[in-house]
Amino acid sequence: MSGILKNFIGWSIVPDFVTKNGLFMFHQYVFPRFGFKVPPTNSPTYREHYRYAYAIVVLGYLFYTLVDGARAMEYNFYEILGVPPDVDENGLKIAFRNFARKYHPDRPGVGNAGAELFMRVRDAFEALKNPTVRFAYDRFGPDVLQWTKLSTTREYMRHGLLQSSGYHIFSGISLAVISSIGRPSPVSFWRFILFFSFLALELAFILYPTPSPSTSATIFTDPAAGLSFKTIFYSTFPYRVPYQHIRFLHQVFMFLSIALTRVAPRLFPDDPRTEYQIVLQHLEAMAGFADREASMMLHTELHSIHPFTPETRVPTTEMQPCNPSADVMDTLAKELENMIIETNLKKGIGPLRTAREKAVERGRGAKELNATRKPLSATLLNTELEARANGNLPSPRPSPPPPPGLQRRGSSFVRARSVSY
């Protein structure tokens, strides 16, 4: 975890810091001696110098991290015993005896660390006497010694490939997420090319059983079958086995991916016109998508208000442009006019807004008054109907209104009887 954090901090801070300060010193002390003019900051010449200096710093730091990762690789069983990976069984036994004479726990001065190392090497030696376990160890590392339930080469290969697939699945998902974030870049394509190339290299290290005189075999030779060819990896690290080369490939892939991401955009910057065209294309695509969504919403509303029969109703998933009738369009036009007028009245100020607010208050007051009168009127009506049904009308009954001729002219007086209950 500390190594990953160190690499992340190094790749995030070191290149820019070293490039800026190194280029400043180069311009201040080297250029004047050769009579070159120091370019001003943010000028095209300065930016070009900065790109080249940045590439040199990143590639140099990449070389340093690769060398450091190669030197920090843990020793395999053959390196601890001091024998090559293609040693036979007798040579392996002799090497273990010599190792036991030096690191046996009974010998004085070995200590706890030496005793622990001896126990680990002894367990590995007992397991690697089996050719099948040794074959799997060379390809998948010390974890093979824990796979005690496996017996055949096919089982070891299947289990080892499943264990190794986790790294590639995680790397592929990470590349997809990184590529989907931000603007499109050609670097994403080359990162995937790099990923699949190193995946092919790893499979070649695992699956190549014997050396071949072909061109590709000069790179992927199996050390357990004999180093008959001087290959790139095995000539550089002659005592290492495939699983160590695979781990080194993982480091190289990570470093090259970071270098590709950081260096390529600096050395080969995008043309601003091309970037502008890409932005325009994205805007056009978004505008077209918004137009389609708005059209679908509009036609969905038109379909919802248009009268349909169960036979002619169209599902939402198969919605097509609707041509509503003239009556529907007239209704919509009137509703839109009312909405526009109401919106303008709400936004308006002065007498018009005051008149609208007063009209709204009068309407609310009339509505509340009607709501209070309706229960009382309904009660009186129910009482009168019940009285008529039971024959319990008021007694005496009120007189009918007088004829028009009995009423005095110019007077509103009418004689009538009182009603009692």
Contact 73, 66 (CB under 8 A): no
136 and 264 both lie in a single domain: yes
Classify the C-alpha dihedral 302-307-310-311 as positive or negative: negative
Q: Is residue 375 part of a domain?
A: yes
217 and 203 both lie in a single domain: yes
Q: Which of 328, 347, 366 is the last residue of a domain?
A: 347
Q: Which of 269, 298, 318 is the last residue of a domain?
A: 269
Helices 186-207 and 153-180, axial angle in degrees (round to 10): 170
| pLDDT value of position 55 | 83
Q: Is residue 392 part of a domain?
A: no
Which residues have a Cβ under 8 Å from the Cβ of 186 and sit 6 or more positions away?
264
Report the number of distinct structural domains present in the chain. Answer: 4
DSSP-assigned letters across all residues of 147-165: -TT--SHHHHHHHHHHHHH
231 and 164 both lie in a single domain: yes
Cis check: omega of the bond before 396, within 30 degrees of 0: yes
142 and 58 both lie in a single domain: no
43: containing domain: 2-71
240 and 151 both lie in a single domain: yes
341 and 352 both lie in a single domain: no
208 and 143 both lie in a single domain: yes
| pLDDT value of position 215 | 35
Reduced to 3 states (helix: H, G, I; strand: E, B; else coil), residue 107 is: coil
21 and 134 both lie in a single domain: no
| pLDDT value of position 25 | 86
63 and 155 both lie in a single domain: no
Each of the 421 residues of the chain gets a pLDDT tens digit; together they read 455 566 666 666 777 888 888 888 888 888 888 778 888 887 888 888 888 888 888 888 878 878 887 888 888 888 888 888 888 888 888 888 888 887 777 777 667 777 778 888 888 888 788 888 888 888 898 888 888 888 888 999 999 999 989 889 998 898 888 888 766 677 888 889 999 999 998 888 888 754 333 333 334 444 444 443 346 777 778 788 888 888 888 888 888 887 777 777 777 666 656 666 777 888 888 888 888 787 777 767 666 666 666 655 666 555 556 666 777 778 878 888 888 877 777 776 667 677 777 777 887 877 777 776 655 555 555 665 565 555 555 555 555 556 555 555 555 555 555 444 4
Contact 140, 134 (CB under 8 A): no
Contact 219, 245 (CB under 8 A): no
Structure tokens at 306: 């248009």
Q: Is residue 66 part of a domain?
A: yes
Q: Is residue 101 part of a domain?
A: no
375 and 254 both lie in a single domain: no
DSSP-assigned letters across all residues of 56-102: HHHHHHHHHHHHHHHHTPPP-HHHHHT--TT--HHHHHHHHHHHHHH
* Cα dihedral: 196, 200, 205, 208 (round 10): 170
Contact 62, 260 (CB under 8 A): no
Q: Is residue 261 part of a domain?
A: yes
150 and 197 both lie in a single domain: yes
Q: Is residue 294 part of a domain?
A: yes
Q: Which of 269, 289, 317 is the last residue of a domain?
A: 269
Q: Is residue 56 part of a domain?
A: yes
194 and 258 both lie in a single domain: yes
Q: Is residue 100 part of a domain?
A: no
Confidence (pTM) = 0.54
Structure tokens at 69: 């990762």
Rounded to a whole number, what is the largest CA-CA distance in the chain? 149
